[in-house]
Chain A
C-alpha cells in the first residue's frame, strides 16, 4: 500500500474515531482520548530512535516539555494559534534533538541512555529557574470555552482532541514511511551492527542525527498543545516520570521493529491507565506500566507484534 493510500485510510479512521466520540456525547471521552493520542505520538516518536536505531532515549519528557514550554513562552510573549505553536514546538525540540544527537551519539548503549537522562535533568533545572515561563511555581494558561472552526463552534477540548488526532496520524505516517524506505534499512543496520553498516557505505552518524531530529520534533509537537489541555503547567508535570517511562514502555509492550507496535502499545496501555484513573486512582498508573513491562520483557520480549509474528511463522512452517 502506498503512503498516500495509507494516509487516506488513517484520516478516515480518524474521522470515524471523532464521530464515535461525538456520538457518545460525553465530553470526558475527548479528555481521556487526548491523553491516549498524545502517547501514540510520543511512543511512535520514541520508536524512531529507540526501536528502529536501537538507541534508548530516557529523556522523552524533556522533548515533550520543550514543546510545552515553548507554548508557555509564546502565551506570555504573544499568544499564537495552537497549530502554529505545534510547528514551533517541533522546530525547538527538533533542534535540541539534533544538538543532543551531535553531542551524545558517539556514546553507545547504556552510556547514551544515561546522557539523555542527564539532558532531561539539565533542561528541567533551566526551566525551574526561568521565571518568565513560571519557574518552579508554574504557569497558568487560560483557554477559551469554545473554538469556532469553519463557522462551527465546538468545545475547546474537542478542538485539542482533533489536533492531537492529526498529530497521531502524522506520527504514524512518518513512522511507517521511514520503515519502508531506504532510511528504514539504514536505521535497521545501525541497530544490528554499526561497524558493518559503516563498512557497507551507510553514513551512520548522519542517519542517527536524522533519527534524533525527527524523534525530538515529534515529541515537541505532542507537548505544544499540552499547556492548553492541562491549564496549569509546572516543571514537575511537564518533565514528569510518566512521559519518559510510558514512551519507552509502550513501544516495548507493542513491539519495537515496526510502526504498529508503538500504536498498539499506546492504545492498550493508555486506555488501561485512563480506566485505572477513573476507577481506582491515577497513582496506580505507573504501577500498571511497571508490572506490564516486567511481564512483557519476560514473556514476549519482542512485544505483542513480535508475539503475533512468531505465532504466524510457526503456523506457516508446520
Chain B
C-alpha cells in the first residue's frame, strides 16, 4: 500500500542556516506517529513545509497520491491535510461555534458541495461536544482557559475533516490530567480513521501515544522506528542528554 504521506529529500534553509537537510518520512494510513527532537531541530519547519506555510527548496511532499509542491496552504487543506498550531491561534472576533464553522465553509464545502446551514450548525455543536466545549459555543475565545484553547484548536482542525492531522505541541504547558485529556481526544480521533502526527516534548505523552517515533536533530532525521527501540538508540540519547 502506498503511504498517505511521503516526504522525500526535503531541505529548507533560512539564509545560511540549514533548517531541514534531506528529510525522508513516510506515514501510513491510520498510523500514529510521534515526531520529537530538541528545540530548534526543525520540527515546526518540517510541519510548515508539509502544510504549505513554507515552501521547501529541495525535495518533494506527496500526500494521498498527489504532489503537494507549489500548492498554497489552503489548497493542501482542501486535499485533506490539517494542523493545529504550537501556540493556539483562535479567530478572536468569532465565537467558538463560528471558529469551527470556518473550515466547514471553506474546506468541507469545497469537497462535498454546499452544506445546509442547519447541518453546519449541528456539526459545529457536535465537534464542540467532542472536546467538551459545547456549552460555550456562543462564547468568545478570550473566555477560554489554556487547555480549552488547545481543545478548540484541535476541534477546529478536525472540522476540516482531514485524512492527516498534525498536532504541533498541543500539550505544552498543560497539567498531567489535561495532557491525559488531550491524549484521549487524539486517540479517539485516530480510532475514527484520522492519521495523526504528534509533535511533542513531553516524552511520557509521546511514548504512550505513538506507534512509531521519528527523531529530528539539527534538521536531520537520526532515528525512525518503534518508540522503545528509538529511545534506546545511542544517537538519540546523546542528542537529548548530551555526551
Contacts and interface: CB of A to CB of B under 8 A. Distances in A.
Contacts, number: 81
A201 B74 contact: yes
Q: Of residues A185, A189, A196, which shows the largest number of chain B Cβ atoms within 10 Å of its Cβ? A: A196
B105 A185 contact: yes
Interface magnitude class on chain B? 20 to 34
A198 B72 contact: yes
A199 B53 contact: yes
Interface string A165-206: 000000000000000001001101101110111111111110
Contacts of B74: 198-204
A257 B93 contact: yes
Given A199-B51, A199-B73, A200-B160, A188 B107 contact: no
A303 to B, nearest CB: 14
B185 interface: no
Nearest to B101: A185
Nearest to B83: A199
Contacts of A196: 85, 89-91
A198 B73 contact: yes
In this complex, the interface size class of chain A, counting residues with CB under 8 Å from chain B, is 20 to 34
B238 to A, nearest CB: 34
Given A198-B74, A203-B72, A192 B156 contact: no
Given A199-B51, A201-B160, A192 B92 contact: yes
Contact of A198 (B53, B90, B157): B53
Contact of B53 (A193, A195, A200, A203): A195
A197 B102 CA distance: 8
Interface string B197-240: 00000000000000000000000000000000000000000000
Nearest to A202: B106
B98 interface: yes
B95 to A, nearest CB: 11
B94 A200 contact: no
Contacts of B83: 199
Interface in B83-127: 83, 85, 89-94, 98, 101-103, 105-107, 109-110
Given A199-B85, A202-B102, 16 more contacts: A182-B109, A185-B98, A185-B105, A185-B106, A193-B89, A196-B85, A196-B90, A196-B91, A197-B91, A198-B52, A198-B53, A199-B73, A200-B156, A200-B160, A201-B74, A201-B160
What 9 A-B pairs are tightest by C-beta distance, nearest first? A201-B107, A196-B89, A201-B77, A192-B91, A200-B103, A198-B73, A201-B106, A193-B89, A202-B106
7 contacts: A198-B52, A198-B53, A198-B77, A199-B83, A200-B156, A201-B107, A201-B110
